[in-house]
Amino acid sequence: MKKILMTPGPTMIPEDVLLEMAEPIIHHRTKEFQEVLKDVEEGLKYVFQTKNPVFIFASSGTGGMEACVCNVLSSTDRALVIVAGKFGERWLELCKAYKVPCEVLDIPEGDAPDPEDIRKILQKEKINAVFSTLCETSSGVVSDIEAIGKICKEYETMLIIDAISGLCADPFFMDDWNVDVCVSGSQKGLMMPPGLSFVAVSKKALDESEKKSDLPKYYFSFKKANKALEKTDTPFTPAISLIKGLSVALERIKKEGLPNVIERHNKLAQATRASISALGLSLFAKRPSNALTSVRIPEGIEVSKLYNRMRDIYGVNIAKGQGELEDKIFRIAHLGYVEIFDIITTISALEMTLSDLGFSINFGDGVSEVEKAFKR
Amino acid sequence: MKKILMTPGPTMIPEDVLLEMAEPIIHHRTKEFQEVLKDVEEGLKYVFQTKNPVFIFASSGTGGMEACVCNVLSSTDRALVIVAGKFGERWLELCKAYKVPCEVLDIPEGDAPDPEDIRKILQKEKINAVFSTLCETSSGVVSDIEAIGKICKEYETMLIIDAISGLCADPFFMDDWNVDVCVSGSQKGLMMPPGLSFVAVSKKALDESEKKSDLPKYYFSFKKANKALEKTDTPFTPAISLIKGLSVALERIKKEGLPNVIERHNKLAQATRASISALGLSLFAKRPSNALTSVRIPEGIEVSKLYNRMRDIYGVNIAKGQGELEDKIFRIAHLGYVEIFDIITTISALEMTLSDLGFSINFGDGVSEVEKAFKR
């Protein structure tokens, strides 16, 4: 059975990226690898839309998030954490692990934070850093980081963004939006296996890390990473094969052009949502990201049955909900190496699965909407 | 030009491992991946010679070392760090990053620690954990961990070992030698790309981590890793493609048999050293590891010239010294996916390079010793 992976990480990997990683390994202290590292650094700056250095860690995205917390904050700081789902919650857990006092702005899952609520908190008390999420992968919601960035600038508060699943899918402009630190991961819009995290760091945040932050750090130290990067090097043995694969993936993005990549994601998202509505299902996210579409499970159907059947009978791997949403929604990612016919396949498999499970649909109602959306 | 990589990490990767990593990516929350994880866990226990759980982190070896420090120690603890080179130094830097008070046993590079010196320190003061290194990659020295383990047991002190480059090359028996925590990495004896670290943790160390340790941790938390491992899972997105490759590499080790793998490394080391001596060069390590051979650079020759020429003219990538030894020694690793003809090639390239650089040798004097050692 042919299989496709429509999950919000890991995402499918282009064949040329896979084959690059299957090349014989090279040593990292060579000109050959330095060239790769230079290319990758440029490519990452492009996708983050930043002039800031971007540090590469061998770690999952969470490792990169921990780097943000332990480098930028100090034990006497106060953070504001915006929690609108599992990954906002992760920021909070990380701050707590380092015993940093936190203010929390809790948002119901499926909603996006209202930037004015952030202003109200910043007006009232001294906050050193605001932690938020571009695309909250657990709900499929994208936040208005541009507006949040304006407010943080006004109050001279640092803004730290988890763009792990949002990068390359949703519009994002690190420098123009006043984001101080931004973290992403390899296995999402960058079309790579998991194993790398990326952290772009502004001058202000780097200064904070090097001169003020008193939280313990070593492997994830920005200072060490920056010192090495200045010599086109890494402080510790880099994940050579993954970084070589990444250079090929970034080359693809540069060739397509970042605005076109994001427009493609937008089109795939629109097509998916039109078909979902045509099938009589209802969308969950109030401010949906281009990375994934979250769908309320219709009454009488179990998420896990739908999920298992789509995967095991039709070869289409989507995602269930996470945490409290596990049994309430399913999620179709259209993220990374995805084209219109992946959506056609997914919606076709969804139609057949819904029918198998006794949910009343007309075959083709969803698929035809994908085609129509594509031709608009 | 055909190239071979004779460095102590990264090491060469078997073709079937490379191709496994080039397979289409699968999702990690699937039975298919769980099967892989189960196999890998068993394989890792075998190479560590332990019944303890082995946690897998997406990180370089240094990340795994940091995990050892921040999980096992508390701010009120006292550590003894044995420093016999760059990687012993790393243990010390990590303890300092977490502000853990340290006693240091400094050993001249090229020497191995005398276990009785450790006893003297443990007799005098309360030490919670001793940090040492199986193979000190910077000097090529292997420590007598078995003897150190006996002493640590006597004084009820935890023993934490960096076996990053030693595992699968030097004899090592985690459980029999009373080692509490042992860290290794993927790009050495395990014949994999860099990007994974492994930490095997005894019941005692796990208890310490879960009940006592007050140092901050999240991504590298043993508690989180152990909780996930109990359900054959990982707390954060694992480096799926690397772990799949690892399952193939471990399968190779199981097929060859760990004692045979170590015997092969020993034979390659003996052959390399016999040839080095036959060429009139002198060995650096007093207690040499099976993983690599460190050689004093003869007078009148620059290490970097020898290194560059071997790599660029003959395609054989060896290693220079590190830190203070950079210009004083060169290192030939015979680690991982290495066979006798890789040594023949390396020694042949070394003979020609030495001759090119004006050092007087008889062609074949080194190579013939490799053959003789192989036939003994």
**pLDDT recorded at residue B149:** 98
| Nearest in space to B53 (alpha carbons), one of B182, B216, B145 | B182
Instruction: Assess whether pLDDT exceeds 90 at residue A35.
Output: yes
Residues A116 and A23 in one domain: yes
Q: A-contacting residues of B 162-181, CB under 8 Å?
A: none
**pLDDT recorded at residue A266:** 98
Q: A-contacting residues of B 205-264, CB under 8 Å?
A: 215-219, 236-242
- The rounded distance, in Å, linking the Cα atoms of A107 and B66 is 35
User: How remote is the C-alpha of A171 from its chain's centroid?
Assistant: 12
> What CATH number corresponds to the domain at position B29?
3.40.640.10
Instruction: Average the pLDDT over B325-339 and give the result.
Output: 97
Residues A147 and A64 in one domain: yes
Total CB pairs under 8 A between chain A and B: 172
- What is the secondary structure of A269-295 as a DSSP string? HHHHHHHHHHTT--B--SSB-SSEEEE
% of residues, chain A, pLDDT over 90: 99
Q: Which residues of B touch A321 (CB under 8 A)?
A: none
Residues B82 and B220 in one domain: yes
Cβ A215–B216 below 8 Å, yes or no?
yes
Q: Which residues of A touch B21 (CB under 8 A)?
A: 18, 21-22, 193, 241
**pLDDT recorded at residue B170:** 98
Q: pLDDT digit string (tens) for A222-270?
A: 999 999 999 999 999 999 999 999 999 999 999 999 999 999 999 999 9
Cβ A195–B236 below 8 Å, yes or no?
no
Q: B-contacting residues of A 79-138, CB under 8 Å?
A: 93-94, 97-99
CA distances from A215 to A69, A97, A209, B97, B220 (A): 9, 11, 9, 9, 15
**pLDDT recorded at residue A121:** 98
**Bridging pattern class, strands B329-333 and B319-320:** antiparallel
Cβ B237–A18 below 8 Å, yes or no?
no
Residues A59 and A25 in one domain: yes
Instruction: Assess whether pLDDT exceeds 90 at residue B376.
Output: no
Q: Which chain A residue has the Cα nearest residue B32?
A: A312
Residues A249 and A348 in one domain: no
**pLDDT recorded at residue B358:** 97
| Nearest in space to A336 (alpha carbons), one of A189, A184, A226, A228 | A189
- Residue B316 domain boundaries: 4-8+258-375
Q: pLDDT digit string (tens) for A94-137?
A: 999 999 999 999 999 999 999 999 999 999 999 999 999 999 99
Q: B-contacting residues of A 318-337, CB under 8 Å?
A: none
Q: pLDDT digit string (tens) for B256-290?
A: 999 999 999 999 999 999 999 999 999 999 999 99
CA contacts within 13 A on the Cβ side of A258: 16
Q: Which residues of B touch A16 (CB under 8 A)?
A: none
Predicted interface score ipTM higher than 0.85: yes
For residue A136, the 8-state DSSP code is: E
Cβ A195–B5 below 8 Å, yes or no?
no
Amino acid at B229: L
Domain count, chain A: 2
Q: Does B62 touch chain A (CB under 8 A)?
A: yes
Residues B242 and B342 in one domain: no
Q: Does B280 touch chain A (CB under 8 A)?
A: no
Q: pLDDT digit string (tens) for B147-205?
A: 999 999 999 999 999 999 999 999 999 999 999 999 999 999 999 999 999 999 999 99
Instruction: Average the pLDDT over A151-176 and give the result.
Output: 98
Q: Which chain B residue has the Cα nearest residue A9?
A: B27
Instruction: Assess whether pLDDT exceeds 90 at residue A327.
Output: yes
Residues B69 and B181 in one domain: yes
Instruction: Assess whether pLDDT exceeds 90 at residue B314.
Output: yes
Choose the final residue of a domain: A220, A237, A256: A256
CB A168 within 8 A of CB A11: no
Please confirm whether the linkage preceding A10 is cis (ω < 30° from 0). yes
Residues B79 and B216 in one domain: yes
Mutate to test the interface with A, among B25, B221, B312, B326 (most CBs of A within 10 A): B25
What is the Cα Rg of chain A in Å? 21
**pLDDT recorded at residue B294:** 98
**pLDDT recorded at residue B252:** 98
> What CATH number corresponds to the domain at position B270?
3.90.1150.10
For residue A212, the 8-state DSSP code is: I
Residues B247 and B282 in one domain: no
Residues A280 and A237 in one domain: no
In the structure encoding, which two tokens stand for residue A323, read together? 């945490």
CB A266 within 8 A of CB A283: no
Q: Which residues of B touch A236 (CB under 8 A)?
A: 60-63
**pLDDT recorded at residue B342:** 98
Q: Give the closest of B12, B21, B237 to A61, CB-based.
A: B237
Whole-number mean pLDDT of chain B? 97
Instruction: Assess whether pLDDT exceeds 90 at residue A376.
Output: no
Helix (H, G, I), strand (E, B) or coil at B141: strand
**Bridging pattern class, strands A54-58 and A196-201:** antiparallel
Cβ A193–B241 below 8 Å, yes or no?
yes
- What is the secondary structure of B297-319 as a DSSP string? PPTT--HHHHHHHHHHHH-EE-E
Beta-ladder partners of B200: B54, B182
Instruction: Assess whether pLDDT exceeds 90 at residue A168.
Output: yes
Instruction: Assess whether pLDDT exceeds 90 at residue A346.
Output: yes
- The rounded distance, in Å, linking the Cα atoms of A333 and A317 is 10
Choose the final residue of a domain: B218, B235, B256: B256
Whole-number mean pLDDT of chain A? 97
What number of other Cβ atoms are within 10 A of residue B122's Cβ?
A: 18
Beta strands in A59-117 (DSSP E): 79-83, 102-106
- The rounded distance, in Å, linking the Cα atoms of B333 and B311 is 14
Q: Give the closest of B10, B185, B219 to A59, CB-based.
A: B219
**pLDDT recorded at residue B356:** 98
What number of other Cβ atoms are within 10 A of residue A5's Cβ?
A: 25
Q: Which chain A residue has the Cα nearest residue B237?
A: A60
Phi/psi for B45 (5° steps) reads: -60, -40
Residues A368 and A233 in one domain: no
Q: pLDDT digit string (tens) for A242-251?
A: 999 999 999 9
% of residues, chain A, pLDDT over 70: 100
Q: pLDDT digit string (tens) for B59-113?
A: 999 999 999 999 999 999 999 999 999 999 999 999 999 999 999 999 999 999 9
Residues A312 and A241 in one domain: no
Alpha-carbon torsion B208, B214, B215, B220, what sign?
A: positive
Choose the final residue of a domain: A235, A256, A277: A256
